[in-house]
Structure 1
């Protein structure tokens, strides 16, 4: 069976095509109506994801407990879909800082089958949509990351990780890779055993999310009637 090749021709074509398509969709949003188009794309992507989960369960025989949306990119996707539907500036904050995971997922995709496999197609569509949603919100809703959002998103993610840790213990799963190092080869394999690799990932997250906060951070912070 032919397998998906990391950084192969198809992978590179998908990355370039995804960027071009996202840019075209961004223009369409301005033409067709920004809020309407945001909601429309969110519903389409939600349908694509639901069909993917159904396909993996029926065709691949994956168990329901293995299909729960508890990995970071799936959690971020849910938040982005809600953001695009509601235009919530509060949802934008975690979406912005968590979208970094989608970047790494697109560079090193966890897929095995090449296109036109539906699961592979859905993987790239949904991960590109996380980034598209952030660009869309920045360009059309004028949302910007805040320092409060930076800290709140980090705290929220750690709370989610703690909850998921106990869910994993009950189900025998390893969502968010908080219970053990992934069984497959990954960057986490080089960060030590549990729980040391978690500490390394936390430090990397703190640095990288701050780096993406700096370019778009709000220029002013309001305290009462004063502006600094």
Structure 2
């Protein structure tokens, strides 16, 4: 039930952003953007403080090298700065990664544990931040941004693999699949599922672009 409640919160929050998009466009929301950006940073800082205080922090799993961990930081900076390049990364990587995390969470704690609240808060905020900048601020994904995001991801993979090798970690699940059920269960054994993920990521990004791209006015033949 707590999982379904988190999914329902995500749906309701997304609907509210879409429903009030026109009203919010005419408002000055800079202060709220700043507040949300700092809340994301505070939530992530609180998570690391919780890890340290309980003896769970370790370089093999606590560095911000998961896609969603990176998306949290990028979403916070996007809210604080409005940077267009960061929007492209957060939109494609953030929505695709956070949506998968919300639907199939790798999580050992339920409501009302801090880790449950942190996990769903930060992942839903990634999605909501992307939708807010799309529907309210008027940013739109482009095909060029899609391929640029794929390039950034592939440039990041060797670095993460090296960190995994040095720390015996499993960031981005490059070394093995997670123990809980996930999308990777459908993509073949290690290491072949990483190649499958390339096509899945490109496909998901393309669908997101189709859904949220800037529509041309009707009758515009160009």
For Structure 1 versus Structure 2, the TM-score category normalised by the shorter chain is 0.7 to 0.9
Quick check: 11-20 or 185-194, which moved more?
Answer: 185-194
Matched, 1:93 2:88: yes
Task: Note the alpha carbon deviations across 1:57-92, whole angstroms, 9 max, x for none.
Answer: 212533244211111111111111111110011111
Per-residue CA deviation, residues 161-195 of structure 1 (Å, 9 max, x unaligned), is 11101111111101011233334443323423332
Matched, 1:68 2:60: no
Structure showing greater relative contact order (alpha-carbon pairs closer than 8 Å, 6 or more residues apart): 2
Root-mean-square deviation (CA, aligned residues, Å) is: 2.4
Conserved in 2, the CA contact under 8 Å of 1:114 and 1:120? yes
Aligned equivalents of 1:169 and 1:177: distance in 2?
12
Q: Which residue of 1 aligns with 2:191?
A: 195
Q: Distance in 1 between matches of 2:168 and 2:77?
A: 29
| TM-score normalised according to structure 2 size | 0.87
Residue 111 of structure 2 contacts residue 117 of structure 2 at CA under 8 Å; is this kept in 1?
A: yes
Worse-matched range after superposition: 54-63 or 97-106: 54-63
* Residue 207 (structure 2) aligns with: 211
Indicate whether 1:53 and 2:45 are aligned: no
1:19 to 5, 11, 14: 11
Q: Deviations over 1:78-115 (max 9, x none)?
A: 11111111001111111111121101111111112211
The Cα offsets for residues 26-80 of structure 1, whole Å up to 9 and x where unpaired, read as 8599397322211110101210111011102212533244211111111111111
Runs of 4 or more consecutive aligned structure 1 residues displaced over 6 Å after TM superposition: none
How many residues end up aligned between the 2 structures? 214
Aligned partner of 2:78 in structure 1 is 83
Structure 1 segments unaligned to the other structure (5+ residues): 1-8, 221-227
